[in-house]
């Protein structure tokens, strides 16, 4: 029976193909060495949300990233999502179109994995998400490019192998404060007469009844997780290489922030000790301290000098 | 793209740095321009003796916009229709440092050369930046203009992170922005999906009609609400579009498959929720108990008092009865009789009897006095009960506050 269905659907697909183009994407997901467990869990979460992705073992090198292109070619992937961990705490996400497309390097912050968020939303493994973008993405060239990359990487193509035919979650990308905020929600449909059995969100936006739908349905969203924020840093023209065509000058590296913090602390100590020393010298000059705050000069007539 | 790969490899081997090279090229360009510039300026001045600023304005209209914007931000009125007034304000700013002016001049040329490559976007950005920076000190802005000439400096975006006392001495610079719009659009066009040809069900991506406004990103509730609303509207639109295309949307109730979060995970979440609810309930219960305890104490005290009062009353009554009856048959009656009968008959027979049995009453008193049973001594002295009896006591009288008895003469007079 299944075979019959397959053949039937295959023929219909062939007919369609003549008229319509197909969107084919495969994503290679991998991380560098030195990721923490949270980074690893994020990777796992994304992998489970993206049936068109291929997970690879940790990539060994942090300098020869262009080798990723070959890796992607090996696995027939045309997208690469690479997580680079630095210092065991900072996570950078590289998104690239594998053979020669552009590469975006982003700093990943405010990371919360599904496991630690305890949201009650859930969705089918392998269902396709609706991708929701903020209109601000269309305003600038680099955000337009980033949007396209996000669409191709996180959007699950219809033809992916493990895909399920229903739509039960939505992925939201919002630009705010120069950063991209990512959220994943489950779509929860219920008939308006019935009261919802579960509602995890504290915000109860009353969903307006649908305009077009023949059968009226209440749509509610329940967050699934994970949550993270991306700050674009650099866009390169080719895949993991090539000239830099965009650089974010607003971005301050976490190293810089940490060192500033340290320095500000150190500055406090330095100024204090300096002040203490100055006051000591001043008091010495005023004759308030014995020997003027300096070391006592050796008495030329002392025993130790005379009989040295 | 094999060529670029090869090239990249070659560059890598040579240790070539694209960024540095590019920067150097720009510097060279700027220097060349600078060399050309003085001649042009002199010519202009010879022509009509136009003030320097105007030259600058003529040559680089962008910097003009910048300056006026700056003036606006600083609260200088530009509304005056006379143009010269505006130039004057510029003068007042620029006269402070001639060198600065030169620097801005060079910069404007340099930026122009950049914008040739990158197009209009950068210009817009630039204006926005100056607008944003308008609130800060002028000096700081001038410093920003100087940035390219100074060697030792600090990133502009780092200034906020420094302490206030440090901020004054620092010469800020902005990292050289690279925003090659042409290249970006080219790259975008190269990888872009043909959205016009694809049906919606192929890509399923939606963009909101208006910007998602988030006033304060640190305000968690409103920020999340904005995200929620954005996705909700997207879902509604997507649902309509998919329905129109005939693609399946919602999962039928009898379709079971593996979920992203497995049962174990969901169980954990459920447990967590239940624990949370239980904790809330327990704390509410505890609070209730605490309140009850506080209130209960009062209730208990009141009850005890009431009980004590009741006891006292009954004891009083009993003793009264005892006293009344003591003459007649204190010894004869056993206790139960006394209680029952006495309580029932306590008032009436006695009252009634008083009038009728007048002799008897007298007899009783006499018996009390002269003996006929009972103790004879200390009949009038206080006992424990009478001394504890404070009915006749008045502290007013004790203090002499009571109305004093008038003197004898007055009393006689009253009569």
Smallest Cβ–Cβ distance between A66 and the set B8, B121, B243 belongs to: B8
What is the pLDDT confidence band of residue A300, given thresholds at 50, 70 and 90? Answer: confident
Crossing angle (nearest 10°) for helices B18-48 and B98-118: 120
| Cβ neighbour number for residue A84 with a 10 Å cutoff | 21
Smallest Cβ–Cβ distance between A252 and the set B158, B197, B229 belongs to: B158
pLDDT at A11 over 70: no
Determine whether the interchain pair B230/A174 forms a contact, defined as Cβ–Cβ distance below 8 Å.
Answer: yes
Q: Cite the beta strand spans of A4-78 per DSSP E.
A: 27-31, 53-55
pLDDT at A194 over 90: no
State yes or no: ipTM above 0.90.
no
CB A247 within 8 Å of CB A223: no
pLDDT at A169 over 70: yes
Q: Where is average pLDDT lowest: A113-122, A288-297, B24-33?
A: A288-297
Query: Could you report the per-residue pLDDT of B183-195, keeping only the tens digit for each?
Result: 999 999 999 988 8
β-strand pairing of A179-190 with A227-238? antiparallel
Residues 6+ apart with CB under 8 A from A201: A220, A221, A222, A223, B228
The pLDDT value recorded for residue B392 is 80
Smallest Cβ–Cβ distance between A264 and the set B1, B163, B259 belongs to: B163
The pLDDT value recorded for residue A49 is 93
| Cβ neighbour number for residue A281 with a 10 Å cutoff | 14
Q: What is the DSSP string of B157-209?
A: GGGGGS-HHHHTT--EEPPPPEE-HHHHHHHHHHH---TTTS-HHHH-EEE-S
Question: Among A298, A254, A120, A302, which residue's Cα sits nearest to residue A197?
Answer: A120
C-alpha separations of A302 from A14, A250, A297, B138, B355 in Å: 110, 67, 11, 65, 128
Percent of chain B with pLDDT over 70: 51
Q: Supply the Cα-derived Rg of chain A in whole angstroms.
A: 30
- Taking the alpha carbons at both ends of chain A, their separation in whole angstroms is 111
A107 interface with B at CB cutoff 8 Å: no
pLDDT at A200 over 60: no
Please identify which residue in the block is written with the tokens 């003009």: B64
Determine whether the interchain pair B260/A267 forms a contact, defined as Cβ–Cβ distance below 8 Å.
Answer: no
Determine whether the interchain pair A213/B238 forms a contact, defined as Cβ–Cβ distance below 8 Å.
Answer: no
CB A96 within 8 Å of CB A102: yes
A174 interface with B at CB cutoff 8 Å: yes
Give me the mean pLDDT over the B326-344 stretch. Answer: 53
Question: Among A261, A262, A289, A259, which residue's Cα sits nearest to residue A277?
Answer: A289
CB B147 within 8 Å of CB B173: yes
Give me the mean pLDDT over the A113-129 stretch. Answer: 91
What is the pLDDT confidence band of residue B172, given thresholds at 50, 70 and 90? Answer: low
Query: Could you report the per-residue pLDDT of B182-228, keeping only the tens digit for each?
Result: 999 999 999 998 888 888 988 899 999 988 888 888 999 999 999 99
pLDDT at B133 over 50: no
Determine whether the interchain pair B265/A20 forms a contact, defined as Cβ–Cβ distance below 8 Å.
Answer: no
Mean pLDDT score of chain A: 84
Residue B75 has which token pair? Answer: 């609260």
CB B86 within 8 Å of CB B69: no
Determine whether the interchain pair A155/B185 forms a contact, defined as Cβ–Cβ distance below 8 Å.
Answer: no
Give me the mean pLDDT over the B150-157 stretch. Answer: 47
| Rounded-to-integer distance, Cα B222 and Cα B229, Å | 10
The pLDDT value recorded for residue B231 is 93
Determine whether the interchain pair A132/B231 forms a contact, defined as Cβ–Cβ distance below 8 Å.
Answer: yes
Please identify which residue in the block is written with the tokens 């193909």: A17
What is the pLDDT confidence band of residue B161, given thresholds at 50, 70 and 90? Answer: low
Question: Among B313, B271, B415, B199, which residue's Cα sits nearest to residue A157?
Answer: B199
Interface of B with A in 11-70 (CB under 8 A): 18-19
The pLDDT value recorded for residue A40 is 94
C-alpha separations of B8 from A94, B15, B187 in Å: 19, 10, 18
Query: Could you report the per-residue pLDDT of B301-321, keeping only the tens digit for each?
Result: 999 999 999 999 999 999 999
Element (H, E) at B376: none
The values of phi and psi at residue A238, to 5°, are -105, -175
β-strand pairing of A127-133 with B172-173? unpaired
In three-state secondary structure terms, B54 is helix
Give A-chain residues touching B259 at CB under 8 angstroms.
122-125
Best of B192, B195, B204, B233 to mutate (most A CBs within 10 Å, chain A): B204
Q: Is the bond preceding A226 in cis, omega lying within 30 degrees of 0?
A: yes
Maximum average pLDDT range among A110-124, A198-212, B11-25, B34-48: A110-124
Give me the mean pLDDT over the A208-222 stretch. Answer: 62
Q: Which residue has the higher pLDDT, B178 or A17?
A: B178
Classify B15 in phi/psi space as left (phi over 0), alpha (psi -120 to 50) or beta.
Answer: left
Determine whether the interchain pair A23/B250 forms a contact, defined as Cβ–Cβ distance below 8 Å.
Answer: no
Interface of A with B in 203-262 (CB under 8 A): 203, 205, 207, 210-213, 217, 219, 221, 224, 235, 237-238, 241-247, 249-252, 256-257, 260
Interface of B with A in 2-21 (CB under 8 A): 4-5, 8, 18-19
Give me the mean pLDDT over the A242-260 stretch. Answer: 92
The pLDDT value recorded for residue A261 is 93
Query: Could you report the per-residue pLDDT of B59-98, keeping only the tens digit for each?
Result: 334 444 343 344 444 443 443 343 333 443 444 444 444 4
pLDDT at A249 over 90: no
Q: Where is average pLDDT lowest: A128-137, A143-152, A168-177, B126-135?
A: B126-135
Give me the mean pLDDT over the B14-40 stretch. Answer: 69
| Cβ neighbour number for residue A30 with a 10 Å cutoff | 21
Residue in chain A nearest B233 by alpha carbon: A132
The pLDDT value recorded for residue A295 is 64
* 3-state SS, one letter per residue, for A185-241: EEEEEECCCCCCCCCCCCCCCCCCCCCCCCCCCEEEEEECCCEEEEEEEEEEEECCE
pLDDT at B327 over 50: yes
The pLDDT value recorded for residue B175 is 56
| Rounded-to-integer distance, Cα B149 and Cα B130, Å | 19
Determine whether the interchain pair A210/B249 forms a contact, defined as Cβ–Cβ distance below 8 Å.
Answer: no
Q: How many residues does chain B have?
A: 415
Please identify which residue in the block is written with the tokens 């397959």: A6
Query: Could you report the per-residue pLDDT of B355-377, keeping only the tens digit for each?
Result: 445 578 888 888 877 777 767 77
C-alpha separations of B160 from A102, A119, A232, B107, B173 in Å: 33, 36, 20, 25, 13
What is the pLDDT confidence band of residue B135, given thresholds at 50, 70 and 90? Answer: very low
The pLDDT value recorded for residue B37 is 55
Give me the mean pLDDT over the B378-402 stretch. Answer: 79
Mean pLDDT score of chain B: 68
pLDDT at B151 over 70: no
A35 interface with B at CB cutoff 8 Å: no
The pLDDT value recorded for residue B70 is 41
CB A84 within 8 Å of CB A157: no
Residue A236 has which token pair? Answer: 């390169």
Q: Which residue has the higher pLDDT, B152 or A239?
A: A239
The pLDDT value recorded for residue B395 is 79
What is the pLDDT confidence band of residue A111, given thresholds at 50, 70 and 90? Answer: very high
Give A-chain residues touching B253 at CB under 8 angstroms.
none
Residue A275 has which token pair? Answer: 């002040």
| Rounded-to-integer distance, Cα B308 and Cα B287, Å | 32
Determine whether the interchain pair A219/B185 forms a contact, defined as Cβ–Cβ distance below 8 Å.
Answer: no
The pLDDT value recorded for residue A55 is 94
Give A-chain residues touching B179 at CB under 8 angstroms.
141-142, 245-247
Determine whether the interchain pair B184/A203 forms a contact, defined as Cβ–Cβ distance below 8 Å.
Answer: no
Q: Which residue has the higher pLDDT, A186 or B148?
A: A186
What is the pLDDT confidence band of residue B49, given thresholds at 50, 70 and 90? Answer: very low
Give A-chain residues touching B177 at CB under 8 angstroms.
247, 249
Partnered with residue A30 across adjacent β-strands are: A82
| Rounded-to-integer distance, Cα B59 and Cα B374, Å | 136
Smallest Cβ–Cβ distance between A176 and the set B162, B179, B217 belongs to: B217
Give me the mean pLDDT over the B124-142 stretch. Answer: 41
The pLDDT value recorded for residue A6 is 59
B85 interface with A at CB cutoff 8 Å: no
Question: Among A127, A97, A226, A248, which residue's Cα sits nearest to residue A172?
Answer: A226
The values of phi and psi at residue A79, to 5°, are -135, 150
- Rounded to the nearest angstrom, the minimum Cα separation between A122 and chain B is 6
Q: Give the Cα-Cα-Cα angle A303, A306, A308 (nearest 5 degrees).
A: 90
Smallest Cβ–Cβ distance between A250 and the set B157, B163, B242 belongs to: B157
Residue B368 has which token pair? Answer: 């009390």
The pLDDT value recorded for residue B137 is 40
Residues 6+ apart with CB under 8 A from A207: A218, A219, A220, B232, B236
pLDDT at A87 over 50: yes
Q: Where is average pLDDT lowest: A97-106, A175-184, A287-296, B43-52?
A: B43-52
Determine whether the interchain pair B269/A221 forms a contact, defined as Cβ–Cβ distance below 8 Å.
Answer: no
Give me the mean pLDDT over the A110-122 stretch. Answer: 92
């Amino acid at each position: 029976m299944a075979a019959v269905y397959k053949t039937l659907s295959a023929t219909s697909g062939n007919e369609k193909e003549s008229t319509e183009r197909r969107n084919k994407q495969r994503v290679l997901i991998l991380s560098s060495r030195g990721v923490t467990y949270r980074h690893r869990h994020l990777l796992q979460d994304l992998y489970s949300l993206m049936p068109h992705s291929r997970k690879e073992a940790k990539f060994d090198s942090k300098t020869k990233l262009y080798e990723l292109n070959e890796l992607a070619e090996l696995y027939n992937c045309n997208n690469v999502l690479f997580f680079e961990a630095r210092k065991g705490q900072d996570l950078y996400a590289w998104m690239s179109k594998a053979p020669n497309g552009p590469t975006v390097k982003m700093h990943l912050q405010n990371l919360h994995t599904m496991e630690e968020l305890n949201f009650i939303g859930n969705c089918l493994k392998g269902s396709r998400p609706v991708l929701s973008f903020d209109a601000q993405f269309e305003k600038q060239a680099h955000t337009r490019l980033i949007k396209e990359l996000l669409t191709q990487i996180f959007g699950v193509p219809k033809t992916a192998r493990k895909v399920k035919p229903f739509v039960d979650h939505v992925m939201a990308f919002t630009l705010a404060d120069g950063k991209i905020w990512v959220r994943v929600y489950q779509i929860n449909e219920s008939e308006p007469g019935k009261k919802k059995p579960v509602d995890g969100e504290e915000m109860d936006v009353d969903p307006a009844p649908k305009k077009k739908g023949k059968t009226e349905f209440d749509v509610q969203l329940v967050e699934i997780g994970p949550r993270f924020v991306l700050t674009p840093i650099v866009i390169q023209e080719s895949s993991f290489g090539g000239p830099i065509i965009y650089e974010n000058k607003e971005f301050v590296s976490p190293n810089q922030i940490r060192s500033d913090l340290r320095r500000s602390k150190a500055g406090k100590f330095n100024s204090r000790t300096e002040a203490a020393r100055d006051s000591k010298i001043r008091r010495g000059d005023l004759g308030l301290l014995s020997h003027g705050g300096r070391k006592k000069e050796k008495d030329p007539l002392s025993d130790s000098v005379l009989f040295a | 793209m094999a060529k670029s790969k090869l090239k990249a490899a070659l560059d890598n081997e040579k240790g070539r740095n694209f960024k540095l090279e590019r920067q150097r090229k720009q510097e060279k360009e700027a220097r060349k321009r600078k060399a050309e510039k003085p001649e042009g300026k002199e010519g202009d001045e010879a022509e009509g003796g136009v003030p320097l600023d105007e030259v600058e304005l003529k040559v680089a209209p962008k910097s003009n916009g910048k300056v006026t914007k700056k003036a606006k931000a600083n609260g200088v009125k530009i509304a005056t229709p006379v143009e010269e007034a505006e130039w004057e304000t510029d003068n007042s700013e620029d006269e402070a440092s001639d060198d600065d002016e030169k620097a801005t001049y060079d910069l404007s040329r340099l930026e122009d050369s950049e914008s040739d490559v990158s197009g209009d976007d950068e210009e817009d950005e630039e204006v926005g930046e100056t607008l944003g920076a308008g609130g800060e000190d002028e000096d700081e802005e001038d410093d920003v203009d100087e940035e390219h000439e100074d060697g030792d400096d600090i990133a502009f975006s780092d200034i906020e992170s420094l302490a206030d006392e440090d901020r004054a001495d620092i010469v800020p610079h902005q990292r050289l922005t690279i925003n090659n719009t042409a290249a970006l659009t080219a790259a975008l066009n190269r990888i872009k999906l043909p959205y016009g040809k694809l049906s919606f069900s192929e890509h399923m991506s939606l963009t909101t009609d208006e910007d998602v406004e988030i006033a304060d990103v640190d305000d968690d509730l409103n920020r999340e609400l904005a995200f929620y609303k954005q996705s909700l509207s997207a879902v509604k639109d997507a649902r309509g579009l998919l329905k129109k295309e005939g693609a399946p949307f919602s999962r039928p109730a009898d379709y079971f498959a593996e979920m992203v979060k497995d049962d174990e995970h969901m169980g954990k979440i459920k447990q967590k929720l239940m624990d949370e609810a239980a904790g809330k309930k327990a704390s509410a219960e505890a609070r209730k108990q605490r309140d009850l305890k506080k209130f209960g104490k009062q209730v208990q005290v009141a009850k005890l008092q009431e009980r004590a009062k009741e006891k006292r009353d009954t004891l009083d009554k009993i003793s009264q009865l005892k006293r009344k009856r003591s003459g007649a048959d204190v010894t004869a009656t056993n206790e139960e009789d006394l209680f029952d009968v006495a309580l029932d008959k306590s008032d009436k027979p006695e009252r009634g009897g008083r009038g009728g049995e007048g002799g008897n009453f007298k007899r009783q008193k006499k018996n009390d006095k002269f003996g006929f049973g009972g103790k004879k001594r200390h009949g009038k002295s206080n006992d424990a009960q009478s001394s504890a009896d404070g009915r006749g006591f008045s502290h007013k009288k004790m203090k002499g506050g009571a109305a004093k008895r008038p003197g004898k003469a007055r009393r006689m007079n009253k009569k």
